[in-house]
Structure 1
């Protein structure tokens, strides 16, 4: 190959090397160590048990999921828990609301700020439970709190510090500083 034919190839090679030298490298976006995998607004999530019964539903204004730590955060969550009686097939519905919520390990729901737990089917002595913090085990349907709790029903009002309640067996206990008012009114 003579000099005249090789000049365009050499010029092209020089231009290519010059272009590589002046082209800025793409910036690599470095995510913070603990970043969410997704953020969603106006969320509705359904959970079903092994036989297809709708165990619970979660509604929230905003949901942020952190899979590396197995935590999902909620803003203004509303959770509907469905309890099916195995003998009668009757369904009791509980509604849990708060300002903030966190779901850990797929079963432990921590609610905080203005927590209100309400029996929507109105078939129990305790119709509402109010506190500032509660933990709900969604698999065993148990509710606990270490703070001041107020229970109300059609003919009673109780308050105390700390509680445990089972939505399945309908058992409930207050731990300490219990005050109760019972009304003898008939419905």
Structure 2
């Protein structure tokens, strides 16, 4: 190849390199400082303990997780808690529902907006609880609220302000203003 034939190729190479150097770079989209790790619709999640037993199941119409903050926000959460009695190996099942919820530290679930706790096994003195805001410690199976709580059981209706309950040890402590109605009906 002589000089005359090489000049057009050299000019074309110089033009291409100049174009690459001067070409505007596409900017990557800048994400918000705290963008979600994932957004899930119709969430269905099952949690197990070290021995392989189910500890709880979580359902929600929408879940937004922020892994950098270790927070998950739920819309219409429903949590099914399974409590195994070590003496007779029976399982009591509780359902906790609310309009909204926030899970932090993979254990602390803050529920608010028409919170309901129901005993699905129908084997406890307390069958239902209702309040506007409640904290659930999933690993400990503990519930607490500082607001007015209503609860019902066979032949009783009660309410009080401020409550702590352990589903595992079947304890319930009400802090103040307890009102009780006992029904003398056969059920």
TM-score bucket (shorter structure): over 0.9
Aligned counterparts of 1:26 and 1:40: Cα–Cα separation in 2: 30
Asked if 1:88 is matched to 2:127, the reply is: no
Query: Secondary structure at 2:80's aligned position in 1?
Result: strand
1:38 Cα deviation (Å)?
0.5
1:30 Cα deviation (Å)?
1.0
Aligned counterparts of 1:186 and 1:124: Cα–Cα separation in 2: 17
Aligned counterparts of 1:149 and 1:17: Cα–Cα separation in 2: 73
Query: Secondary structure at 2:115's aligned position in 1?
Result: strand
- Provide the residue aligned with 2:15 in structure 1: 15
Residues 19-58 of structure 1 aligned to structure 2 (within 5 Å): 19-21=19-21, 23-58=23-58
- Provide the residue aligned with 1:148 in structure 2: 148
Aligned counterparts of 1:79 and 1:119: Cα–Cα separation in 2: 12
Give the TM-score, by structure 1 length.
Answer: 0.95
Query: Secondary structure at 1:11's aligned position in 2?
Result: helix
Q: Deviations over 1:150-179 (max 9, x none)?
A: 011121111111100010111101111211
Aligned counterparts of 2:96 and 2:23: Cα–Cα separation in 1: 56
Query: Secondary structure at 2:169's aligned position in 1?
Result: coil
- Provide the residue aligned with 2:97 in structure 1: 97
Aligned counterparts of 1:146 and 1:12: Cα–Cα separation in 2: 77
Say which is worse superposed, 1-10 or 145-154, in terms of deviation.
1-10
Say which is worse superposed, 91-100 or 2-11, in terms of deviation.
2-11
Give the root-mean-square deviation of aligned CA atoms.
1.4
| Unaligned 5+ runs, structure 2 | none
Aligned counterparts of 2:148 and 2:3: Cα–Cα separation in 1: 92
Give the TM-score, by structure 2 length.
Answer: 0.95
Residues 59-138 of structure 1 aligned to structure 2 (within 5 Å): 59-138=59-138
- Provide the residue aligned with 1:180 in structure 2: 180
1:21 Cα deviation (Å)?
4.8
Aligned counterparts of 2:107 and 2:123: Cα–Cα separation in 1: 26
Query: Secondary structure at 1:27's aligned position in 2?
Result: coil
Aligned counterparts of 2:45 and 2:23: Cα–Cα separation in 1: 47
> What is the aligned residue count?
187
